[in-house]
Amino acid sequence: MPDEMPDVVGVGLATLDQIGVGPRSRDESVELTTFSLQAGGPTGTALATMAAFGARTRYFGRLGQDAFGQIIQRRLRSFGVDTSAVLFEPNRLSPVTFTMIEDNGGRRYVRYTRGDTTPLRASDLPADLFEQVRLLYIDAEMPEVQIVAAERARAQGARVILGIRRMSSGIGELLDLADVVIASERVAAEIAHSSDLERTLVELTKMGPQIAVVTMGEDGAVGLHDHKLVRQQALPVNVVDVTGAGSVFRGAFSYALLQDWPLERAVPFASAAAGLNCASIGGQGGIPTLEAVLSAAK
């Protein structure tokens, strides 16, 4: 591994994203108006966002030793993400996502495959992965290894941020180990068994995290820390694509944590980053500059 130690290590899912924009049609063959090939995934995009803002980040995961895996690695490196710890597996398919967006704000269709790489095991985690790390980012996509990663990271003094985009096994254990949880409104309500937003936030903090944030798309975001509730409206933008916006929010919030910003600054900052991201195609393709986010969050 490089001599420079990262601020953040991410253990989770990175994908190849193929995004196409085209007319709504029932024809068998339709030419796209726009096509973009990017790296993506909840952990990949969160780390790329942090790196774009200036944080030192490292990704740990397993990819196929295929063309897709090589593209994922190159795209992450282009943002400054350290990929030296990535495990490449020969003759395996890396995770791939296909997103089709209809022209003029039409429907969005997502199809994906996790590929066929061997699932990460605790024994795959390098002994020095969390040395001097300030933050571990996990996405609940591979809970078995992420539980062990969180235990080891916390033992070495790192804070754990858990981003959840869908329900999975092991959520309870991950929440117990997390210092911060960020979840969509639907997932948060399912975890807390409540449709009341404030009660949901309180219930999430009772499960382990000190800070709980719920994202609500065009309705903004709400965060809770030490009985302080912060509500933030979504940034008004011309929405082109919402792919990866949640991951950009989580990455931006993680960056705010690294700066030791209070909740009342972190939530507007992350909301502005996610909003600006929606004005472009793709999650990583639309990551804004730090300067643009700071300006929009004023």
| Strand ranges for 65-177 from DSSP E | 87-89, 96-102, 108-113, 135-138, 159-164
pLDDT value of position 1: 45
* Domain assignment present for 108: no
* Domain assignment present for 103: no
The residues, any chain, with a CB within 8 Å of residue 245's CB and separated by 6 or more, are 217, 274, 275, 277, 278, 283
CA atoms within 13 A on the CB side of 275: 24
CA distance 82 to 253: 20
| Spatial contact of 40 and 15, defined as CB atoms under 8 Å apart | yes
pLDDT value of position 3: 55
Which residue is listed with tokens 């990949």? 44
pLDDT in tens, 177-222: 999 999 999 999 999 999 999 999 999 999 999 999 999 999 999 9
Q: Is residue 229 helix, strand or coil?
A: strand
**CA-only gyration radius of the chain, Å:** 18
CA distance 223 to 213: 4
* Domain assignment present for 110: no
* Domain assignment present for 100: no
* Domain assignment present for 109: no
pLDDT value of position 105: 74
pLDDT value of position 2: 52
Segments in the chain below pLDDT 50 = 1
* Domain assignment present for 272: yes
pLDDT in tens, 3-42: 578 999 999 999 999 999 999 988 899 999 999 999 999 9
Q: Closest by alpha carbon to 40, among 258, 248, 261?
A: 248
Q: Closest by alpha carbon to 79, among 40, 42, 132, 136?
A: 40
Task: Say which CATH number the domain at 171 has.
Answer: 3.40.1190.20
What is the span of the domain harbouring residue 267? 8-14+41-95+117-296
CA distance 138 to 183: 12
pLDDT value of position 29: 93
* Domain assignment present for 202: yes
* Domain assignment present for 83: yes
Structural domains in the chain (count): 1
